[in-house]
Amino acid sequence: MNYPKLVESMMKPEFYPHRPDTVELIQTHISFIFIAGDLVYKVKKAVDFGFLDFTTLEKRKYYCDKEILLNRRFAPDVYNDVVGIVEDKEGNLLLGNGDSIVEYAVEMKKIPEERMLYRLMDAGKVTEDDVKRVGKHLARVYGNIPSDEKAKAFGTFDVISTNVIENFDQTKKYAGGPVSEEAFNTLESWSRSFMDKNPFLFDMRIGQGCIKDCHGDLHLQHICIEDDAISVFDCIEFNERFRFGDVASDVAFLSMDFDFNGRSDLGDLFVNTYIDESGDATLRDVLQFYKVYRAMVRAKVTSFMLDDDGLGDVSRHEAFQKAKQYYDLAYRYVTNEN
């Protein structure tokens, strides 16, 4: 795909049938996101990072379809459809379907940025009622997701152990940097010890139907709170190992994010509401374990930025400090009971 041509075409308001006044482009390492008035179009890049592979048109179409299907569980009114991008005989790119499709896009309704949970947190406008609504919404969503044989396979001790140990293997080189050698060793030792001492907990969670096709990336930036709806979006569609697992891991992710942003009270309220609404009482038995795991995942992803030679000094310092905050949070989880 000729991406300069695609971007040039999709930045024009006349490209879209609804003729938006303006078009804004947001680019990530895996997507082009075009905000065209009250609609958003996401185009996947032809990249292969090992953990995801969008290198062919067929694969991009497949994962566009998966993105719609999976995210409608959490935000049924946000994800519209997969739309084609065609090239006419004159070489012009057009939005539509036909025999000459050269690319696909996920079409979504635009979510009000000011109602995003992380924006509300920054502005000090998150209420206890907001948090309870999120907990109840997620309990209903997860309650409707089955725990089938495919899902259960992702809750075994071997799979969970692989995920956890992978985190430490991939972050070991940062010990002595954003995390001290002592803290890193304590975190790894605690995590390994918890798994070795509690294999029955993982078996119990499987037996209770708690292993499901979940969200995988449940944090403040992926939740929108409006007067009439809760929308949770950007579920991981490209790698099942990152998405399938114990619902407790998703709940722990959001709870950890509240902690990271200095609102542990809201994190506790969210967990309590979720448990009350879902009846998942044994979630508490694995919550601390998964909060450590999720904090380490965020620490790892942020630490990876330190390896980017193109990162400026200011951005590198910010990444270092943010990674340190995640490592520190994980360390507090294993050294304090509260």
Reported as a single tens digit per residue, the pLDDT across 18-28 is 999 999 999 88
pLDDT tier, 172 (very low <50, low <70, confident <90, very high otherwise): very high
The chain-wide mean pLDDT, for the chain, equals 95
Q: Which residues of 187-210 are buried (b: 16+ CB within 10 A; e: fewer)?
A: bbebbeebbeeeeebbeebbeebb
* pLDDT in the model for residue 99: 76
Query: Residue 163 in contact with residue 211, Cβ under 8 Å?
Result: no
d(CA 229, CA 309): 42
Report the pLDDT averaged over residues 170-182: 96
The packing angle between helices 157-171 and 199-207, to 10°, is: 130
| 276 has a pLDDT exceeding 70 | yes
Mean predicted confidence (pLDDT) in 170-197: 97
Per-residue pLDDT at 136: 97
Report the pLDDT value the prediction gives residue 97, as an integer from 0 to 100. 79
Contact (Cβ atoms closer than 8 angstroms) between residue 288 and residue 333: yes
198-211 mean pLDDT: 97
Percent helix, strand and coil across the chain, each rounded to 5? Answer: 55, 15, 30
Q: Are 284 and 264 in contact (CB under 8 A)?
A: no
CA 199 to chain centre: 27
Bridge partners, residue 25, by sequence: 34
Q: How far apart are CA 43 and CA 29, in angstroms?
A: 11
What is the distance between the alpha carbons of residues 248 and 283, in angstroms, rounded to a whole number?
6
Task: Provide the pLDDT for residue 336.
Answer: 81
pLDDT at residue 211 tops 90? yes
Question: In whole angstroms, what is the distance from residue 201 CA to residue 118 CA?
Answer: 33
d(CA 133, CA 225): 9
Residue in this structure with the two tokens 């519209």, named with its chain if needed: 80
Biggest CA-to-CA distance, the chain = 67
Q: Which two tokens stand for residue 228?
A: 């009439």
- How crowded is residue 250: how many other Cβ atoms within 10 Å of its Cβ? 25
Q: How far apart are CA 154 and CA 288, in angstroms?
A: 19
Report, as an integer, the average pLDDT of 248-254. 98
The residues, ordered by sequence, that sit 6+ positions from 20 with a Cβ below 8 Å of its Cβ are 13, 36, 37, 38, 39
What the block records as the tokens of 210 is: 């708690």
The share of the chain scoring above pLDDT 90, in percent, equals 88
pLDDT at 294: 97
| For helices 264-278 and 247-260, angle between their N-to-C axes, nearest 10 degrees | 160
Count of other CB atoms within 10 angstroms of residue 217: 17
* Helices 247-260 & 283-304 angle (0-180, nearest 10): 60
pLDDT band at 98 (very low <50, low <70, confident <90, very high): confident
Average confidence (pLDDT) over 90-118: 92
pLDDT of residue 338: 47
Q: Residue 337: pLDDT above 60?
A: no
Token look-up 């024009």 returns 12
Instruction: Let me know: does 239 contact 227? Beta carbons within 8 Å.
Output: no
Q: Answer yes or no: is pLDDT of 83 > 90.
A: yes
Q: Report how far apart, in Å, the C-alpha atoms of 243 and of each of 166, 200, 236, 247, 280 are.
A: 16, 22, 6, 10, 19
**What average pLDDT does the segment 90-113 reach?**
91
Determine the 3-state secondary structure of 13 from DSSP.
helix
Cα(232)–Cα(73) distance, integer angstroms: 9
Q: What is the SS3 assignment for 77?
A: coil
Residue 278's identity, in one-letter code, is: S
Closest Cα to residue 257, out of 304, 288, 295?
295
Cross-strand partners of 334 = none
Beta bridge partners of 105: 83
